[in-house]
């Protein structure tokens, strides 16, 4: 659990980067109606949450470094005795100060009156330009209100800066407590993968495996970090398959891409295994090739290596395997240069991971791949997809394998946060035997 002090520290760091004469203003994410009188489960905007830990809609966060006293301010809903009868406890302004470390908090109903006063005298407004049109318009209105009120000489800010990139760069490097949350999230996902492996049987439907996964998450106060992909047989080869409604047959592989979200932090874990619990010779060949590619890629996840290096390692191993299996022809150099392997391995090998599954942070700066640094977290997820419609020899068709783990970059080398999910052929077969 991230403590209040860490949120305060993040806000101070952001104020320092934004500059002395700045004002930073961020809006919470609106609550969304699902249908009729029913809302979607509320999830705060990840940047807003990163800076506040505050999980309610209708809130505005304001940071003003050049102010004495009240620099960190939250506008939020005041506790409404009628509303809490229906929806339960609310934080309220007093709670925002007492439990979220804000210097001051005001009722959101006062935002239109108070924000022009806070903006006055600041030179630069930092906000997430273009992400919420309604909020952008409101902000323009607050700035305009200063002009109107002062009349002759405007004291309104003249500089407007997008702050998203600054926050995203902060989010890229995980603190010790964030890593602990991410480890917990990965452990929960791993326990769900174990439960799915233990319960998997020919004749079951993919959604029955999904039920085992959700059971395991919910009893650990967690939920899905994305709609799980549970694809058997030819569905192995559909990258974004989420229908999960096919019966799983004896002799098929099932690809399960299923992560957890714990205290807002995501894990993203994929395992592929035989529905009947025992790899056939051909399934094993394919699986062990992807496993080798993943291992070669993980070896490249080192401080100072570039973002592309681990992808290139995976692509090289996969390409050599495709040649060895006579699925592709030519030399290794040709396959890599002409990228013919992308017929069977069509995605990159990973992405940043954090509050979002595909987390924020640059992959390239000035056209150069970024270097891996200490305490960034990423996925390593090579795959091989040989669909029934492919040109591969018939004996390989209808199988797909992806293996995905969550990796923390450290000075001592890669740390696999999701290592508790069984992965070798022997580990998987043993888990499935029960």
Find the shortest distance in angstroms from Cβ 370 to Mn ion.
Answer: 18
Rounded Cα gap, residues 227 and 24, in angstroms: 33
Q: Tokens 């409604």 sit at which residue?
A: 245
Rounded Cα gap, residues 107 and 79, in angstroms: 9
Residues that contact ligand GLY, how many (by CB under 6 A): 7
β-pair type (38-39, 223-224):
unpaired
Taking residue 250's Cβ as centre, other Cβ atoms within 10 Å add up to 10
Q: At what angle do helices 425-433 and 176-199 cross, to 10 degrees?
A: 60
Find the shortest distance in angstroms from Cβ 381 to ligand GLY.
Answer: 6
Residue 224 binds which entry of Mn ion, ligand GLY, none, with Cβ cut-offs from 5 to 8 Å by kind? none
Q: Which is nearer to ligand GLY, 128 or 351 (CB)?
A: 351
Residues 6 or more apart whose Cβ sits within 8 Å of residue 240: 229
Rounded Cα gap, residues 226 and 243, in angstroms: 13
Q: What are 131's two structure tokens?
A: 């992400």
Residues that contact Mn ion, how many (by CB under 5 A): 5
Find the shortest distance in angstroms from Cβ 271 to ligand GLY.
Answer: 12
Find the shortest distance in angstroms from Cβ 170 to Mn ion.
Answer: 22
Q: Which is nearer to ligand GLY, 47 or 268 (CB)?
A: 268
What DSSP designation does 103 have? S
Find the shortest distance in angstroms from Cβ 259 to Mn ion.
Answer: 6
Q: Which is nearer to ligand GLY, 171 or 351 (CB)?
A: 351
Q: Which is nearer to ligand GLY, 212 or 257 (CB)?
A: 257
Please name the residue ranges forming H helices in 120-229: 133-150, 164-172, 176-199, 206-218
Q: What are 204's two structure tokens?
A: 């079951």
Q: Tokens 């017929």 sit at which residue?
A: 343
Q: Is 356 in the site for ligand GLY (CB under 6 A)?
A: no
Considering only 261, 268, 296, 300, the residue that binds ligand GLY (CB under 6 A) is 268
Q: Which is nearer to Mn ion, 56 or 268 (CB)?
A: 268
Q: Tokens 């992308």 sit at which residue?
A: 342
Q: Which is nearer to ligand GLY, 132 or 408 (CB)?
A: 408
Considering only 257, 309, 356, 359, the residue that binds ligand GLY (CB under 6 A) is 257
Considering only 47, 206, 252, 257, the residue that binds Mn ion (CB under 5 A) is 257
Contact 378, 353 (CB under 8 A): yes
Find the shortest distance in angstroms from Cβ 178 to ligand GLY.
Answer: 20
| 116-145 binders of Mn ion (CB under 5 A) | none
Find the shortest distance in angstroms from Cβ 357 to ligand GLY.
Answer: 6
Task: Classify 82 as helix, strand or coil.
Answer: helix
Q: What are 215's two structure tokens?
A: 């059971």
Q: Which is nearer to ligand GLY, 111 or 189 (CB)?
A: 189
| 367-406 binders of Mn ion (CB under 5 A) | 379, 404
Report helix, strand and coil shares of the chain as percent, to nearest 5: 40, 20, 40
Residue nearest to ligand GLY (CB): 257
Q: Tokens 């290794």 sit at which residue?
A: 332
Rounded Cα gap, residues 426 and 278, in angstroms: 10
Residues 398-427: x/- map of binding to ligand GLY (CB under 6 A)? ------x-----------------------
| 35-74 binders of ligand GLY (CB under 6 A) | none
Q: Taking the chain, what is the end-to-end CA distance rounded to the nearest angstrom?
A: 33
Find the shortest distance in angstroms from Cβ 379 to Mn ion.
Answer: 4
Q: Is 300 in the site for Mn ion (CB under 5 A)?
A: no
Rounded Cα gap, residues 196 and 205, in angstroms: 12
Rounded Cα gap, residues 125 and 109, in angstroms: 21
β-pair type (383-386, 159-162):
unpaired
Residue 226 binds which entry of Mn ion, ligand GLY, none, with Cβ cut-offs from 5 to 8 Å by kind? ligand GLY
Considering only 226, 238, 280, 336, the residue that binds ligand GLY (CB under 6 A) is 226
Catalytic annotation, residues: 37, 240, 257, 268, 347, 351, 358, 381, 385, 402, 404
Q: Is 381 in the site for ligand GLY (CB under 6 A)?
A: yes
Q: What are 418's two structure tokens?
A: 């999701």
Rounded Cα gap, residues 338 and 302, in angstroms: 27
Q: Which is nearer to Mn ion, 268 or 309 (CB)?
A: 268
User: Which residues contribute to the site for ligand GLY (CB under 6 A)?
Assistant: 226, 257, 268, 351, 357, 381, 404
User: Which residues contribute to the site for Mn ion (CB under 5 A)?
Assistant: 257, 268, 270, 379, 404
């Amino acid at each position: 659990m991230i403590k209040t002090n860490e949120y305060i520290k993040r806000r101070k760091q952001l104020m320092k980067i934004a500059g002395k004469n700045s004002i930073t203003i961020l809006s919470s994410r609106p609550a969304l109606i699902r249908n009729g009188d029913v809302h979607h489960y509320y999830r705060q905007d990840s940047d807003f949450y990163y800076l506040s830990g505050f999980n309610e809609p209708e809130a505005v966060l304001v940071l003003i470094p050049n102010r004495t006293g009240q620099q960190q301010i939250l506008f939020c809903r005041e506790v409404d005795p009628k509303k809490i009868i229906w929806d339960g406890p609310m934080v309220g302004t007093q709670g925002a100060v007492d439990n979220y470390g804000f210097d001051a908090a005001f009722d959101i109903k006062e935002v239109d009156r108070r924000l022009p006063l806070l903006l006055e005298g600041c030179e630069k407004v930092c906000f997430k330009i273009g992400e919420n049109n309604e909020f952008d318009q409101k902000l323009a209105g607050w700035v305009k209100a200063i002009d109107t009120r002062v009349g002759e000489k405007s004291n309104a800010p003249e500089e407007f800066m997008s702050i998203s990139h600054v926050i995203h760069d902060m989010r890229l490097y995980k603190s010790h407590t964030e890593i602990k949350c991410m480890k917990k999230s990965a452990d929960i996902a791993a326990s769900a993968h174990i439960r799915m492996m233990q319960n998997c049987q020919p004749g079951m439907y993919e959604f029955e495996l999904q039920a085992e996964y959700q059971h395991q998450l919910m009893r650990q106060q967690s939920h899905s970090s994305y709609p799980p992909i549970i694809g058997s047989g030819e569905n192995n080869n559909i990258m974004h398959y989420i229908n999960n409604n096919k019966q799983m047959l004896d002799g098929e592989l099932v690809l399960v891409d299923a992560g957890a979200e714990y205290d807002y932090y995501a894990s993203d874990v994929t395992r592929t295994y035989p529905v009947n619990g025992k790899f056939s010779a051909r399934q094993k060949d394919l699986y062990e090739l992807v496993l080798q590619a993943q291992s070669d890629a993980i070896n490249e996840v080192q401080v100072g290596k570039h973002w592309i290096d681990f992808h290139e390692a995976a692509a090289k191993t996969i390409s050599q395997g495709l040649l060895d299996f006579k699925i592709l022809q030519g030399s290794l150099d040709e396959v890599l240069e002409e990228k013919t392997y992308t017929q069977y391995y069509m995605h990159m090998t990973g992405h940043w991971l954090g509050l979002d599954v595909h987390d924020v942070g640059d992959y390239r700066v000035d056209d150069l791949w970024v270097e891996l640094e200490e305490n960034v977290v990423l996925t390593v997820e090579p795959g091989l997809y040989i669909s029934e419609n492919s040109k591969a020899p018939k004996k390989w068709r209808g199988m797909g394998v992806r293996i995905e783990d969550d990796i923390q970059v450290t000075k001592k080398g890669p740390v696999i946060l999701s290592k508790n999910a069984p992965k070798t052929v022997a580990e998987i077969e043993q888990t499935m035997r029960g």
